[in-house]
Amino acid sequence: MSARKSESEWRAVLSPEQFRILRQKGTEMAGTGKYNKHYEDGMYNCAGCNAPLYRSTSKFDSGCGWPAFYEAVPGAIDRHDDFSYGMRRTEITCHACGGHLGHVFYGEGFGTPTDERHCVNSVSLSFAKEDSKI
């Protein structure tokens, strides 16, 4: 799947806040995102291209103020070294469209199966409720 667009094409399909975060690597304020305390069964998708990113079963409450997941759908995200703000972090982006999702942190001791915390902006996500169990 490829969802590469020009800057003007992205501006035409994203809200100004989605554009700021997904395309300009912005961050929403902690505790303000609609998916921070959201716990329905379903799939969290990229708000830019609708690619599946995270299953609700991998979401957990980290208390950080942003949606937290311990693993992504296999092949859904890319990881990049981010040296902004004078530190080394790992940025995560949507593999399909390159949209900025947030950052992943390692070894924080949350007791999750991967010992990772994918700290994702709610604005970078859309949600599809699970209709039925198969």
Structure confidence by residue, pLDDT tens digits, 44-92: 999 999 999 999 999 999 999 999 999 999 999 999 998 887 888 999 9
Annotate 72-88 with b (16+ C-beta within 10 A) or e (fewer).
bbeebbeeeeeeeeeee
Write down the domain spans for the chain: 34-129
**Token pair of 126 as six digits:** 């859309």
Span 83-109, average pLDDT:
93
Please report, for the chain, how many H helices and E strands are present, in that order.
Answer: 2, 9
Span 98-102, average pLDDT:
97
Active site residues: 119
Give pTM, 2 decimals. 0.91
Structure confidence by residue, pLDDT tens digits, 15-28: 999 999 999 999 99
- Between the alpha carbon of residue 40 and those of residues 1, 4, 19, the distances in Å are 27, 30, 26
SS3 22: helix
34-129 maps to CATH 2.170.150.20 = yes
